[in-house]
């Protein structure tokens, strides 16, 4: 099922390609940093320094595309990417990387109440996600409100490193350029304690402001990390009807143009030759002004962008699995499927933002448990199934014959665990068994299991000296900046 869907005709692929190149050649991209303007000019792009605009002539971009690599770059600076799959990603060619969390400000607690995240609640959600088997890495599991807002990225990294032991957990947020020296110092401290390269714990995430604007603050953060030898991932989120045309084809050209611009930036700054297309758009709700995530249009855009990725020989990252529901309910499940299954068929290397409710505003331990189960099913779908002499089981079918039973066959015992998805949370019993038992639904079981894990699982992947050193840097930042 992975990387299998074609939704565009050959002529539609070309129709999308042509205006994408025209956008880059005639409209261009605003780039708010003189160092990057110099870099683009040095490599032959057309730079208007007064307007801070960069344009890429069609012949220039076609040459750039022709020199892209079909293979992933040999770059081990990050264990996992902060926004894009860098480096050796062959292991994801037939699978899917699943990331819990994003930057939620609120917690939907076990009693169904919303409250601002704190260091404690963000740490609890990090512990819970670390214990769950189907997540591969963790993003930020909560933006704490009980610390100074400016210092939030320093504390979020501390929470990630303190409360996750089994999985890579990190934060790429940089809210203020003044934080950069402290972020880099803390990355060095933790990397030394882990005995790993500092580049694996020092990275940033910045965003283009759709449409086609790399603002001065975001560009400055990118440049400072790049010049210091670290990665800064660049992402974007056009909104159909607001920062992109209301039509999906128009929004798709904006996503393609911004993706190719980011790939140019990665090539010139990091030497990465693989192209990366990002499917991360929302649609404006014209009645409320809200930009919802759990809509079928996102899945449609992912399918189309996946086909364009294959056309360019690029990798695809189809972004989030968000729900706009305000509780753990049927709406969450349907909306997750709007995004996840089409993205899987489009060939995404990963999906993120599991455990989220109300867009990216809040997360829930109960939803995190349900999503972990869902991810297990998605990974089973991504893995596909083998067709060979052993799996065809011809000899067994001939032996058992008409009306035969396969339950007691050695072949069944040998294969069912690998061939059949084995849920740990979703219902597995008939109605009579359920009626004679506790009569719990999936949210009830998820709540029970989450509470049990939080009462028993207390990882501490950080020694006291390291934690003291990291807190000392936070103290220095507080004295200097506040």
Contact 461, 162 (CB under 8 A): yes
State residue 82's pLDDT score: 37
Across the beta sheet with 362-363, the strand order is 114-116, 106-108, 362-363, 356-357
Backbone angles phi, psi at 317, to 5 degrees: -125, 110
Residues 264-267: contacts with CB under 8 Å, at least 24 apart: 264/56, 264/64, 265/36, 265/222, 265/234, 266/234, 267/64
CATH superfamily of 66-383: Trimethylamine methyltransferase-like (3.20.20.480)
3-state secondary structure the chain: CCCCCCCCCHHHHHHHHHHHHHHHHHHCEEECCHHHHHHHHHCCCEEECCCCEEECCHHHHHHHHHCCECCCCCCCCCCCCCCCCCCCCHHHCCCCEEEECCCCCEEECCCCCEEECCHHHHHHHHHHHHHCCCCCEECCCCCCCCCCHHHHHHHHHHHHHHHCCCCEECCCECCCHHHHHHHHHHHHHHHHHHCCCHHHCCEEEEECECCCEECHHHHHHHHHHHHCCCEEEEECCCEECCCECCCHHHHHHHHHHHHHHHHHHHHHHHCCCECEEECCCEECCCCCCCCCCCCHHHHHHHHHHHHHHHHHCCEEECCECCCCCCCCCHHHHHHHHHHHHHHHHHCCCEEEEECEECCCCEECHHHHHHHHHHHHHHHHHHHCCCCCHHHHCHHHHHHHCCCCCCCCCHHHHHHHHHHCCCCCCCCCCCHHHHHCCCCCCHHHHHHHHHHHHHHHCCCCCCCHHHHHHHHHHHHHHHHHHC
Phi, psi of 50 (to 5 degrees): -65, -45
**Angstrom distance (rounded) from CA 67 to CA 85:** 20
CA nearest to 327, candidates 367, 380, 273, 285: 367
The answer to pTM > 0.85 is: yes
What local confidence, expressed as pLDDT, does residue 91 receive?
56
Every domain of the chain and the residues it spans:
66-383, 389-419
- Rg for the chain (alpha carbons), in Å? 24
Distance CA 438, CA 469 (A): 49
pLDDT per residue, tens digit, the chain (482 aa), is 667 789 999 999 999 999 999 999 999 999 999 999 999 999 999 999 999 999 999 999 999 999 999 887 777 666 544 334 444 444 553 467 889 998 999 999 999 999 999 999 999 999 999 999 999 889 999 999 999 999 999 999 999 999 999 988 888 999 899 999 999 999 999 999 999 889 989 999 999 999 999 999 999 999 999 999 999 999 999 999 999 999 999 999 999 999 999 999 999 999 999 998 999 999 999 999 988 888 999 999 999 999 999 999 998 988 778 889 999 999 999 998 888 999 999 988 888 889 999 988 999 999 999 999 999 999 888 888 999 999 999 999 999 999 999 999 999 999 999 999 999 999 999 999 999 999 999 999 999 999 999 999 999 778 999 999 999 999 999 999 99
Q: How far apart are CA 304 and CA 443, in angstroms?
A: 34
Structure tokens at 192: 């030394």
């Amino acid at each position: 099922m992975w990387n299998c869907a074609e939704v565009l005709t050959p002529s539609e692929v070309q129709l999308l390609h042509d205006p994408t190149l025209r956008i880059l050649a005639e409209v261009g991209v605003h780039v708010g940093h003189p160092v990057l303007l110099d870099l683009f000019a040095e490599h032959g792009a057309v730079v208007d320094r007064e307007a801070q605009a960069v344009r890429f002539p069609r012949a220039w971009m076609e040459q750039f595309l022709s020199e892209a690599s079909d293979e992933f770059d040999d770059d081990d600076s990050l264990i996992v990417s902060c926004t894009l799959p860098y480096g050796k990603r062959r292991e994801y060619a037939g699978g899917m990387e699943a990331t819990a969390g994003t930057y939620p400000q609120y917690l939907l607690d076990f009693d169904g109440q919303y409250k601002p995240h704190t260091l404690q609640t963000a740490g609890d959600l990090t512990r819970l996600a670390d214990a769950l088997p189907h997540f591969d890495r963790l993003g930020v599991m909560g933006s704490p409100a009980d610390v100074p807002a400016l210092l939030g990225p320093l504390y979020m990294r501390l929470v990630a490193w303190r409360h996750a032991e089994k999985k890579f957990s990190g934060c790429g947020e940089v809210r203020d350029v003044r934080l950069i020296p402290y972020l880099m110092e803390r990355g060095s401290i933790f990397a030394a304690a882990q005995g790993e390269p500092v580049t694996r714990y020092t990275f940033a995430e910045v965003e283009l402001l759709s449409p086609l604007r790399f603002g001065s603050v975001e560009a400055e953060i990118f440049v400072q990390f790049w010049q210091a030898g670290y990665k800064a991932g660049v992402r974007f989120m056009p909104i159909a009807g607001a920062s992109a045309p209301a039509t999906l084809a128009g929004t798709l050209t904006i996503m393609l143009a911004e993706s190719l611009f980011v790939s140019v930036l990665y090539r010139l700054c990091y030497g990465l030759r693989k192209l990366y297309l990002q499917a991360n758009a929302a649609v404006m709700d014209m009645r409320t002004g809200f930009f919802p995530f759990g809509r079928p249009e996102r899945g449609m855009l992912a399918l189309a962008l996946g086909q364009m990725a294959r056309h360019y020989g690029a990798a695809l990252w189809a972004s989030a699995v968000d729900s706009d529901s305000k509780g753990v309910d049927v709406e969450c499940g349907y909306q997750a499927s709007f995004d996840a299954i089409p993205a899987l068929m489009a060939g995404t290397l990963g999906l993120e933002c599991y455990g989220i409710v109300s867009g990216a505003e809040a997360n829930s331990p109960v939803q995190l448990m349900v999503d972990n189960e869902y991810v297990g099913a998605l990974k089973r779908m991504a893995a596909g199934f083998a067709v060979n002499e052993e799996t065809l089981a011809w000899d067994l079918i001939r032996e058992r014959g008409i009306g035969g039973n396969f339950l007691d066959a050695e072949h069944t015992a040998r294969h069912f665990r690998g061939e059949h998805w084995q849920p740990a949370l979703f219902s597995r019993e008939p109605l009579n068994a359920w009626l004679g038992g506790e009569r719990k639904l999936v949210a009830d079981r998820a709540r029970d299991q989450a509470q049990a894990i939080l009462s028993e699982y207390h990882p501490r992947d950080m020694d006291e000296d390291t934690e003291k050193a990291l807190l000392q840097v936070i103290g220095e930042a507080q004295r200097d900046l506040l």
